[in-house]
Chains A and B, each alone.
Chain A
């Protein structure tokens, strides 16, 4: 009798486990999963069509995400990684953990983008954001010559900081060091992450802050505040392309492929602009949300390839440090 009860109990516990819906594990950055980020809407829409359980695991920001993946290595339980940017993909590729995605979506990025392992899902232009009342400089040289104050992020701890480093390198090559030297007296301070810098700008500690051309859209759409805008630079504005990739070790290969394709469908792409405050990688049929048409459009887009970025980083970092360590 006792063993019968045990068997019954065991079956009760085991039965759902047998019929368990497949689980897709997505490792991503923190702000993606929060209730105000894209995570909840995307989870709901994807689960409605996949018959699976989509689980996000948050791991700090983009750089922390890569570190986390490297810590877990081949033993990782994640199926998909979402949230690296092109300055990190070379290092991510070097881990050998990623599988080719085999997809050819019609992307609407302003530059050609072709990568066997990483698929973009959204992107943005880096830009200095400022109040409309300010007449902003139109290039780095004018900025350096002005007495305007800027806050930037540290390229050693933050992805926008690294983006700015690459921006100056892509625009000025060997003269980058001189630009940094000239900029030194404009830089109020260098913060560890994007939030500190943006928060300080909002508190009035600086005239401009390194952020994105899409940042004013947040203030306009979420706060009905149209006082912010971003500066277009004649050298071109450097891009941040956020990418996702499938891991070789996944036990949900088909589901992972489906998820990558889903992220580029209209259902997901239309969520991103007003949750992640970036441009969708493939503009949905209904276009961009109202308010995005007010954003400034750089005429020239700069982007180093993943390998160029990886190769340029150590020297660019030394240049940056030497120029700013007055």
Chain B
């Protein structure tokens, strides 16, 4: 059932992501790539790879510390890990600048101490921003892996008197082999099509990504085939990354447990101090820019223009429709992949590498001959948002879906447990945690996504991110910061509700 549904969804997904590229490719134009494009490709891959490695390298120790320690505020910290990822890119960048910029807190302190200032601009700044935005996501993905280790294995380890090194060899390393490639892949794919962060913090044209070249091709040169070729280049790189990640991944093979709660016996001594240090450092790194966003937004929150409220409603509507669509589809794909249909994996990851601009342009070309783009603005936005959010949901669900099929597949088969009954009795209870997290993540992404609505918007059918960009475009930075704060609050609220359901209201 899941296999057939998965195949159907994957085919639809491939059509909706590659179809627009095809249509854009068929338009008149030169379609040639230049040496500058290859330079952009090199830089794009370099920054995406470094961002992925750094994000995951920071995320793994943090996830371990969060998994094995209990402290007041732990639940809040885990929930707050969802926040940076939900920030509209520009808001996040301004938040980072408030801390690390020329007029930021860090340089203010350095000046005070008569030390040389640091510049955030350049590759370092790009990486800093990408780690800020994606490390929390990677942490949640890896934490999920730690929490999915059955308590029985940990008890066995305790009773065998495992030292930290044994623990690493027999429990942590196999778990990481299962989860880390997926986390690396997710961050890599996100950073591959990163555009505003790279340009704003990159410091100049040496930091040019493929996505910018696509922008230029569509908007100033109107060379659509060139844009399509660049988009395909991006998809190819992402496809390569999917293959590498699949080759690196090895199932943890922990088997099923009885879901009993476990008394923790985390290592003491310097490891305890190290964990505390990691947690404090990460919390400070993430909280700084978030507090800056909050402080920048508060004054504007009192004086929001009327346009904000209908836009907020549109954004929430898109979120409520797109999130279940994305997560439902991702679940079918993850289960189908777990049951052995290997090609579902690249299909599910495809949208992550797709260029939003090319996707939007292609859909516009597909729809324009038949209907007014403004008339279909909301359905198209829902569809595109769901497509864009699907890979994130898939990455969250894939490892646990694999474990589910491995551990319970035969039992379910022998009981002839299928369809809705299987969903209700087996899948939803077992996958509740990643389902809640991905539902929250996709809903929040949908609220914050500027996406393709810009091409389809009407005078009064704007979404909240579009209104923010319009405010910023006409000097109203304070109101824009206020509206952005409203957006963050709503996005985080949606995320928190879903994530809380997923965690069953427990501290875990």
In A1-53, the 8 Å CB interface with B consists of 30-31, 33-37, 39
Contact across chains for B219 and A157 when beta carbons are under 8 A apart: yes
Nearest CB on B from A269, distance (A): 18
A196 close to B459 (CB less than 8 A): no
- CB contacts (< 8 Å) of B216 on chain A: these are 156-157
Q: How far is the CA of A59 from the CA of B480 in the complex (A)?
A: 19
Structural contact, B90 and A58, CB atoms closer than 8 A = no
Residues of A within 8 A of B459 (CB): 33, 39, 55-58
Does B205 have its Cβ within 8 Å of any Cβ on chain A? yes
CB distance from A127 to the nearest CB of B (A): 15
Min CB distance B58 to A, Å, is: 24
Structural contact, B205 and A320, CB atoms closer than 8 A = yes
Contacts of A157 in B (CB 8 A): 199, 212, 215-216, 219-220
Q: Which of A66, A188, A218, A313 contacts B102 (CB 8 A)?
A: A188
Q: Mark B434-475, 1 if CB is under 8 A from A, else 0.
A: 000000000000000000001101110000001101111111
Q: In this assembly, does A89 line the interface, its C-beta being within 8 Å of a C-beta of chain B? A: no
Contacts of A63 in B (CB 8 A): 219-220
CB of A183, distance to nearest CB on chain B (Å):
11
In the complex, A188 Cα to B101 Cα: how many Å? 11
Chain A: minimal CB distance from B359 (Å): 14
Interface residues of B in 141-186 (CB under 8 A from A): none
Most chain-A Cβ atoms within 10 A of its Cβ — which of B90, B195, B305? B90
Asked whether B90 lies within 8 Å of A190 as measured between CB atoms, the reply is: no
Query: Given known contacts A149-B102, A199-B472, is B215 in contact with A156 (CB within 8 Å)?
Result: yes
Instruction: Answer whether residue B201 sits at the interface, using C-beta atoms and an 8 A cutoff.
Output: yes
From known contacts A35-B306, A71-B361, A205-B102, infer whether A195 and B472 are also in contact, taking CB-CB under 8 Å: yes
Chain B interface category by residue count: 35 or more
Partner of A215 from B93, B374, B457, B475 at Cβ < 8 Å: B475
B454 and A190: CB pair below 8 A? Answer: no
The reply to whether the CB of A304 lies closer than 8 angstroms to some CB of chain B is: no
B102: nearest chain-A partner, CB-CB: A205
The segment out of B269-277, B325-333, B364-372, B381-389 that lies at the interface is B364-372
Q: Is A30's CB under 8 angstroms from B473's CB?
A: yes
Cβ of A67 and Cβ of B218 under 8 Å apart? yes
* Nearest Cβ on chain B to A305's Cβ, whole angstroms: 18
**Is there an interface contact between B476 and A36, defined as CB atoms closer than 8 Å?**
yes
Contact yes or no, B474 A31, CB < 8 A:
yes
B251 within 8 A of A: no
Contact A189 B470 (CB under 8 A): no
Question: Which residues of A sit under 8 angstroms from B121, Cβ to Cβ?
Answer: 188-189
For residues 272 through 292 of chain A, which have their beta carbon under 8 Å from a beta carbon of chain B? 277
What's the interface size class on A, roughly? 35 or more
Which of B103, B372, B457 contacts A203 (CB under 8 A)? B103
Residue A77 interfacial (CB < 8 Å)? yes
B301 to chain A, nearest CB (A): 17
CB of B470 within 8 A of CB of A31, answer yes
Question: Considering the complex, which residues of chain B in the window 96-136 have a beta carbon less than 8 Å from any beta carbon of chain A?
Answer: 97-98, 101-103, 121
Indicate whether A296 reaches chain B with its CB closer than 8 angstroms. no
CB distance from A44 to the nearest CB of B (A): 13
| A306 located at the interface, meaning its Cβ lies under 8 Å from any Cβ of chain B in the complex | no
Residue in A61, A67, A320, A324 whose Cβ sees the most chain B Cβ within 10 Å? A67
Identify which of A35, A154, A193 contacts B307 (C-beta below 8 A): A35
Q: Quick one: given A91-B222, A325-B206, A326-B206, are A30 and B372 in contact (CB under 8 Å)?
A: no
Given A63-B219, A203-B101, A321-B36, answer yes or no on A192-B365 (Cβ-Cβ < 8 Å): no
Task: Give CA–CA (A146, B289) in the complex, Å.
Answer: 31
Q: Are B196 and A196 in contact (CB under 8 A)?
A: yes
Alpha-carbon gap, A206 to B103, bound state (A): 9
Q: Which residues of B contact A190 (CB under 8 A)?
A: 199, 202-205
CB distance from B484 to the nearest CB of A (A): 11
Chain B residue numbers with a CB within 8 Å of A57 are 374, 458-459
Q: Tell me which residues from 63 to 85 in chain A have a Cβ below 8 Å from any Cβ of chain B.
A: 63-64, 66-68, 70-72, 75, 77
B321 at the interface (CB under 8 A from A): no
Q: With the chains together, A68 CA to B71 CA distance in Å?
A: 54
- From B202, B218, B361, B467, name the one whose CB has the most chain A CB atoms within 10 angstroms: B218
Q: Is A312 an interface residue (CB 8 A)?
A: no
| B219 with A67: CB separation less than 8 A | yes
| Residue contact A75 to B215, C-beta cutoff 8 Å | no
In angstroms, Cα B97 to Cα A188, docked, is: 12
B256 CB–A CB distance under 8 Å = no
CB of A137 closer than 8 Å to a CB of B: no
Is B477 in contact with chain A by the CB < 8 A criterion?
yes
| A residues near B457, Cβ cutoff 8 Å | 58
Q: Considering the complex, give the chain B residue whose CB is closest to the CB of A65.
A: B219
The yes or no answer to A194 lying at the interface (CB within 8 A) is: yes
Q: Are A191 and B476 in contact (CB under 8 A)?
A: no
**B472 touching A184 by the CB < 8 A rule?**
no
CB of B94 within 8 Å of the partner chain:
yes
* Docked complex Cα distance between A184 and B121 (Å): 13
Beta-carbon contact of B206 and A154 below 8 Å: no
With the chains together, A77 CA to B206 CA distance in Å? 40
Binary contact readout A196-210 vs B (1 if CB under 8 angstroms, 0 otherwise): 101110111110000
For A95, give the chain B residue with the smallest CB separation. B222
A187 interface residue per 8 A CB criterion: yes
A170 to B39, CA, bound (A): 29
Q: Are B90 and A196 in contact (CB-based, < 8 A)?
A: yes
Q: How far is the CA of A156 from the CA of B457 in the complex (A)?
A: 23
Contact of B220 among A68, A156, A194 (CB under 8 A): A156
User: A residues within 8 A CB of B365?
Assistant: 71
Chain A residues lying within 8 Å of B219, measured Cβ to Cβ, are: 63-64, 66-67, 157
Q: Does B203 lie within 8 Å of A188, measured CB to CB?
A: yes
The yes or no answer to B200 lying at the interface (CB within 8 A) is yes
Is A192 a contact of B368 with CB atoms below 8 Å? no
> Does A315 reach chain B (CB closer than 8 Å)?
no
Closest beta carbon of chain B to A56's beta carbon, Å: 5
Q: In the complex, which residues of chain B have a beta carbon less than 8 angstroms from the beta carbon of A204?
A: 101-103
Please name all residues of chain A whose beta carbon is closer than 8 Å to the beta carbon of B195 when the two chains form the complex.
Answer: 192
Distance to closest chain A CB from B288 (angstroms):
15
B222 and A196 contact, CB distance less than 8 A: no
Contact with A along B347-361 (1 / 0, CB 8 A): 000000000000001
Q: Is the CB of A189 within 8 A of B204?
A: yes
Report A124 CB to chain B, min CB distance, Å.
13
B103's contact among A198, A205, A320, by CB below 8 Å, is which?
Answer: A205
Residues of chain B within 8 A (CB-CB) of A39 are: 459
Which A residues contact B (CB, under 8 angstroms)?
30-31, 33-37, 39, 55-61, 63-64, 66-68, 70-72, 75, 77, 91, 149, 154, 156-157, 162, 184, 187-196, 198-200, 202-206, 215, 218-219, 222, 277, 313, 320-321, 324-326
Closest 5 CB pairs of A and B: A204-B103, A195-B472, A156-B216, A325-B206, A63-B219
Given contacts A56-B459, A58-B457, A204-B102, 6 further A-B contacts (CB under 8 A): A31-B474, A34-B470, A154-B205, A192-B199, A203-B94, A206-B102
- What would 18 A/B residue contacts be, using CB atoms closer than 8 Å? A34-B470, A37-B470, A59-B454, A60-B454, A67-B361, A157-B212, A184-B204, A188-B102, A192-B196, A192-B199, A195-B473, A199-B480, A203-B94, A203-B98, A205-B102, A222-B475, A325-B204, A325-B206
